[in-house]
A = this chain, B = another copy of it.
Amino acid sequence: MAENPGTTPVKSQIQRALRTSAGDGDLQTVARLIQGLADVDGVDDHGWTALMLAARNGHDKVVKLLLDKGCDHTLMNKAGQSALAIAEFWHHPAVSHLITQHIQGSNSSSSSNNNVVNFFGLSSLDRFSHKRTDVQWLKEKLHHPSTTFVLFSQSSPYITWSDEGKCQVCRFHYEQIKFLFEKPEKEEPVTIFLGIGDVVASKTKKTSTHNPTSRSFDSSLDQPAWFAVDAGDVPLEHLQEAQPNAELLSPRNYLALMSVADEEAGVIGQARALLSWHDRYKFCPTCGSQMHIQEAGYKHTCQNKECRSLKGIHNTSYPRVDPVAIMAVIHPDGNQLLLGRKKQFPRGMYSCLAGFMEPGESIEDACRREVYEESAIKVGHVTYHSSQPWPMPSQLMIGCFGYAVSTAITVDTEELEDVRWFERRDVAAALQGGGPGTGEVGSQSSALFLPPRQAIAHQLIKAWVGMTANL
C-alpha cells in the first residue's frame, strides 16, 4: 500500500512528519502537526501509523495525545499488529496500559464503554412510536412540506449516484409524489412512518462506535418526519420529473443495498424490513382472511371479525424479526479462527458460521448447535459482541465469540462447501486486502478474503484479530 491515495503532496508531507515526530517522541511537534490534520491515521509503506510508531518506542505522552486526538487504535500494520500488540511486544507497559485503558473506556463495570454500531444499525431517527396511532397527526405530517419520503419498488430504494460515486437515497417531498396517493383508498401505496429527525448523509464513514449523546433523544415535534412508500410499478419517468437522476437500486441484489451511505443505512434497513413484511404477510395466518394495515405500518389486523387472532394479543399481528446467531469460533490455542464458505460465495471468500435461531433456544445454545451441525466442532463458552439488523428481509444478527473445546472438523456439505481453521496472521492479512483476488495468503493455494466491512462477520473477525495483542 502506498501513501493514502487522494492525499495532496502537502498533506502527505505533514502526515509523514507526524509519523517521524511520533516515532521520535517529539511531543511539541506532534501537537503542532496534528492541528487541523484531517487524517491522523495516515500510514507508511508498511502500514504503520503515528500511533504505532510512538508505541514502538514507548513514547507514552505522545501515545496519550494521539489517542485523545482520535487516532484509531484498532488499525493494524501489514504484519497484522495493532499499536497495543507492538507496545506489548517491545515491552512498553506504560503504553500498553494507556491503550488498554482507552479500549476499556472509563466505565469499569463493563468491558467497553462504547457499543459497536454495525451497518444498518445507525439511525438518527426517533421512531416516535406513540404517534403511530395518532391518525390526525400522521395525516398532517404526510402532507407537511418538511416531511421526507423514501421510495421503494420490489423492496429496493430509489437512489442517485453522486459525482464521487457515492450512493445516496432519493429524498422526495409530498408535492413531488402526491400522484401516488391520489387513488382510491384501497389502491393507496403501503406507507410506513419511520420516525422524526435529521439524517445527514455525509461522506461514507467507517463502522464506528456509538455516542449516545449524539442521538436525537430530545427530538421534538418540530423535527421533520420520515415515511417510506412502496411505489410499486410506477414508471421511473414519473419520479425523474422530481429527481432527474433517480434510479432503482438493483432489486434482489443484497450487495447493492450495502452501497448506501452508512448514515442512511439504518433508515433504509428499517423501511425495507417493514415493506418486506407487508409484501409477504398479506393474509391472516390463523384463518386465511385478508389483513388490514394499521398503526402507520406496524400492525396487521385480520378483516374476519370471527378470527380468534382478534382476541388477545397475537404475534400474527406484528412485524417479524428473525434472530440469527453468528459466531466467530476461536480455536483452543487462541490463535486460529473457524470460518466456512458456501458454494455461492465468491472464490476465496470465507465467513463466520451462522444460522437462524429455533424456538426454545438461548443465544448461546443456538451458537453451539449451529457450529456443531455445520462443522462438528464443539463450543463451550460463548460471549456476545454486538448485533446488527439485517433487512433481507428482517433478520437480527446476534454476533458472538464461541470458544471451541474440540478441533477436528467434519463439514456438513449440505450447508457448506468448506470449513477450516485459519491462522491469525492469515486472517489479519485478509482484513487488509480488499476483495477477491488480492494477495496470496500464507502457504494456501488460493487467497482468503473476507466479507465486506458492512457485514457483522467482518466486524467479529476484526475484533478477534485485535483481541489478543500478543501475536
Q: Is A282 an interface residue (CB 8 A)?
A: yes
Q: Shortest Cβ distance from A187 into chain B, in angstroms?
A: 20
Question: Is B360 within 8 A of A113, CB to CB?
Answer: no
Most buried by B among A215, A277, A319, A389: A389
Q: Which residues of B contact A281 (CB under 8 A)?
A: 285-286, 316
Question: Is B316 within 8 A of A360, CB to CB?
Answer: no
How far apart are the CA atoms of A468 and B109 in the complex, in Å?
8
Q: Which residues of B contact A386 (CB under 8 A)?
A: 362, 364
Question: Is A378 within 8 A of B212, CB to CB?
Answer: yes
Query: Given A363-B387, A363-B398, A381-B212, does the pair A316, B357 have CB atoms closer than 8 Å?
Result: no
Q: Is A375 an interface residue (CB 8 A)?
A: no
Q: Which residues of B contact A398 (CB under 8 A)?
A: 363, 398
Closest to A330 in B: B109
Closest to A318 in B: B356
We find that the number of chain A residues with CB closer than 8 angstroms to chain B is: 88
Question: Is B368 within 8 A of A215, CB to CB?
Answer: yes
Q: Which single member of B114, B361, B382 contacts A115 (CB below 8 Å)?
A: B382
**Which residues of A in the span 371-409 have a Cβ within 8 Å of any Cβ on B?**
372-373, 378-384, 386-389, 391, 393-394, 396, 398, 401, 403, 405
Q: Which single member of B323, B372, B467 contacts A396 (CB below 8 Å)?
A: B323
How far apart are the CA atoms of A123 and B367 in the complex, in Å?
15
Of A23-31, A33-41, A152-160, A268-276, the one contacting chain B is: A268-276
**Which residues of A in the span 209-224 have a Cβ within 8 Å of any Cβ on B?**
210, 212-213, 215, 217
